[in-house]
Structure 1
Amino acid sequence: MIQRTSALRSLLGPLRVPSLSSKISEYNWYTSQAASSLQEVIIPCASSLSGDDEYADVDWDNLGFGLTRADYMFIMKCFKDESFQKGQISPYGNIELNPSAGVLNYGQGLFEGTKAQRTEDGRILLFRPEQNAMRMKRGAERMCMPSPSIDQFVNAVKETTLANKPWVPPPGKGSLYIRPLLIGSGPILGLGPAPEYTFLIYASPVGNYFKEGTAPLNLYIEEEVVRASPGGAGGVKSITNYAPVLKAITKAKGRGFSDVLYLDAVNKKYIEEVSSCNIFVIKGNLISTPATNGTVLDGITQKSIIEIARDHGYQVEERRIPVDELIDADEAFCTGTAVGVAPVGSITYQNKRIEFKREGQLVWQELYSTLVGIQTGRIEDKKGWTMEIN
């Protein structure tokens, strides 16, 4: 029998988030309804489950990286110069935004990404969600936004995952991608911080990010469009970082490339990031990755791979990498929450295609195997990176 908490029973119809020009009384209704939400979880509707009531009705063998919306999301609000209180689990649905919301007019918003994995023995593991929480706090400071505390963020991720447990794929079939958002939702006309903020989390089961799966990527180095410049917001996960690179991505994919690798904005000679992930270059026992110096996002998968590589005896350097060094590199690979660890087969620069090692004993495979082993519980987690939530 499906049971729901009485406090949330009225929310099981279509979700309608109060107008962002709502009165304080409307805001207080939300916070009072949410008073015990972090302890109360709605069990997903039976109609979304498969015959054994353990998994949602999804073709797990053909899962790509597209939106397959899970049943529930988490939502929490606060006003400017205040702190977030408690939020609540609600049915997945549209939210209502004032046309003059800060996020719509001035791009005042951040997002994060983390994943839940199902182990062979049925446990569900999160991977370093506190790192996402800390990164969001740093980004919120840069964007003049209040942010959830570390505990609030992590607890919200836990509750969202548990509410959507049937949507966590079977072992080896993918993961539940969890997307936290922090937006300036209050109305404002003149340029300035919004008067109200919304923190929400939704989730979707996903497979491989790139259509190539684990096949080597073919990257194209963009020389005109830059992803970030010194003094900008390239070092935080601002929503404003991503739309400007869509034209370069579209152009590259139209020419048969997997994605774009960007150069620094000042000298146009140092590699920085791929559109949505960090990059590593390998030469012998040396593994190099661009330093996170304000224009490169500090990736959580990136820092995990750095630590794993050092544990495996490799020398790792975070530094400026001249594009000319690619010619002599043995291997290259990308890392990110969405992409995991993806090998690079070639990089094209100034119409010259640089090929990397694809066969034999590959470093990226060694590091990838360890990372995924920890994330899925196949390898003992001696670092305290995983968090079991069931």
Structure 2
Amino acid sequence: MTLNTAASGQTANIDWANLGFSYIRTDLRFLAHWKDGEWDAGQLTADNTLHIAEGSTALHYGQQCFEGLKAYRAKDGSINLFRPDRNAARMQASCDRLLMPHVPTEMFVEACRQVVAANERFLPPYGTGGSLYLRPFLIGVGDNIGVRTAPEFIFSVFCVPVGPYFKGGLTPHNFITSTYDRAAPNGTGAAKVGGNYAASLLPGAAAKNTSVDGRHFADVIYLDPSTHSKIEEVGAANFFAITKDGSTFVTPKSPSILPSITKYSLLDLARDRLGLKVEEGEIRIDELDRYGEAGACGTAAVITPIGGIQHGDDFHVFHSETEVGPVTRRLYEELTGIQSGDREAPEGWIVKV
């Protein structure tokens, strides 16, 4: 496909050093339609407004899912997409849960490549700490009113230049447990669907507006919905911890946790690059003394060190409220080094644009 945009050769007028995590309109996005059992070829468009039927299932019944991944500028000027095939596979799993057609992996990856190439002027320069965040999404559309799968679907990918999700970059933040549940047992917790995030708005806002002994919190810690005794997720990110002796990387295992591509990448790096034992299992909220470091991880957050967790009247500090633990730092440097091309990537992790 030929990419035509008058601004394609220009550099975006952005203060890269102070880039946050908010919407910035970019030049082009990819749009494809599914109808009568098949996808059309899709195309790039400058229009950032969707035109959909008023009876679309995405509006009334939440039949939609989305993904998040990033492109990075490497030191040699090339562009790295990080593990887009894994995002394609996770979207397909979400589609299975919500009775939506799969976006084929090749189509998904190619759409991401086209969007990055078409918006290269918005890609933050190497060394700024920024990246180009891609948001692929799939929604049910078409004339409908009954509770059923949609007659038509739209798949789209747009991109936004972003800096750190939490202000301060690799700086410890404190979190507080919530009595709200992120997802129901056997619900949609393992699918990346909008309803899970809509349900998180109230507890997230409550956490950010809470102060305990002068201490403020970046977001909530969700406990398992059945017993409220085990850690599951951190706001919109996955949780991990390092045992006090520094030997083991531990992350929760539950059918209601979203399978983070960043988390599974860290599991591999912890085992293969740092020589740690890795475990997926229970992390009980009353056994935090076992762990010397903890963090939140995800595409947006990358790694956010957790300084401490407030649970009821108790506040547990891991490594430090102000300093990053040594294992967490090594994992961060390994992961971001791979993403930016400064360190060798495991086979298949990087797709060049």
Tell me if structure 2 keeps the 8 A contact 1:147–1:182. Answer: no
Tell me if structure 2 keeps the 8 A contact 1:55–1:168. Answer: no
Q: What is the match of residue 223 of structure 2? A: 263
1:295 to 256, 280, 298: 256
Deviation at 1:213, TM superposition (A): 2.4
Structure 1 residue identity aligned to 2:229: K
For 2:201 and 2:86, locate their aligned partners in 1 and report how far apart those are by CA, in whole Å: 27
2:48 to 93, 111, 117: 93
Structure 2 residue identity aligned to 1:329: Y
Deviation at 1:190, TM superposition (A): 1.0
1:65 to 9, 13, 21: 21
* Equivalent position SS for 1:321: coil
Tell me if 1:281 matches 2:241. yes
* Equivalent position SS for 2:38: coil
Deviation at 1:244, TM superposition (A): 0.7
Q: What is the match of residue 200 of structure 1? A: 156
Deviation at 1:54, TM superposition (A): 5.0
Tell me if 1:218 matches 2:182. no
Q: Which runs of 5+ in 2 are unaligned?
A: 211-215
Q: Which runs of 5+ in 1 are unaligned?
A: 1-38
* Equivalent position SS for 2:85: helix
Deviation at 1:361, TM superposition (A): 5.7
- Trace 1:210-249 onto structure 2 (pairs within 5 A): 210-223=166-179, 225-249=180-204
Deviation at 1:382, TM superposition (A): 3.6
- Trace 1:224-373 onto structure 2 (pairs within 5 A): 225-255=180-210, 256-283=216-243, 284=245, 285-291=247-253, 293-311=254-272, 312-358=274-320, 359=323, 362-373=326-337
For 2:106 and 2:10, locate their aligned partners in 1 and report how far apart those are by CA, in whole Å: 29
RMSD: 1.4
For 1:288 and 1:54, locate their aligned partners in 2 and report how far apart those are by CA, in whole Å: 45
Deviation at 1:252, TM superposition (A): 0.6
Structure 1 residue identity aligned to 2:144: I
For 2:150 and 2:292, locate their aligned partners in 1 and report how far apart those are by CA, in whole Å: 48
Structure 1 residue identity aligned to 2:240: F
For 1:113 and 1:259, locate their aligned partners in 2 and report how far apart those are by CA, in whole Å: 19
Tell me if structure 1 keeps the 8 A contact 2:305–2:324. Answer: no
TM-score by length of 1: 0.85
Deviation at 1:384, TM superposition (A): 2.4
Structure 2 residue identity aligned to 1:333: G
Identity of aligned residues (%): 39
Q: What is the match of residue 379 of structure 1? A: 343
Q: How many residues align?
A: 342
Residues 91-114 of structure 1 deviation map (CA, whole Å, 9 limit, x = unaligned): 042111222110000000000000
Residues 281-315 of structure 1 deviation map (CA, whole Å, 9 limit, x = unaligned): 11121211011x32001000000000000011111
Tell me if structure 1 keeps the 8 A contact 2:204–2:220. Answer: yes
For 1:382 and 1:112, locate their aligned partners in 2 and report how far apart those are by CA, in whole Å: 22
Tell me if structure 2 keeps the 8 A contact 1:83–1:148. Answer: no
* Equivalent position SS for 2:39: coil
Distance verdict in 2 for CA 1:259–1:386, change over 3 Å: same
Residues 181-204 of structure 1 deviation map (CA, whole Å, 9 limit, x = unaligned): 100012211111011100001100
Q: What is the match of residue 169 of structure 1? A: 124
* Equivalent position SS for 1:338: coil
* Equivalent position SS for 1:183: strand
Q: What is the match of residue 113 of structure 1? A: 68
Structure 2 residue identity aligned to 1:154: V
TM-score by length of 2: 0.94
For 1:69 and 1:57, locate their aligned partners in 2 and report how far apart those are by CA, in whole Å: 12
Tell me if structure 2 keeps the 8 A contact 1:281–1:326. Answer: no
1:146 to 101, 124, 147: 101
* Equivalent position SS for 2:86: helix
* Equivalent position SS for 1:330: strand
Which entry has the higher C-alpha Rg, 1 or 2? 1
For 2:69 and 2:269, locate their aligned partners in 1 and report how far apart those are by CA, in whole Å: 19
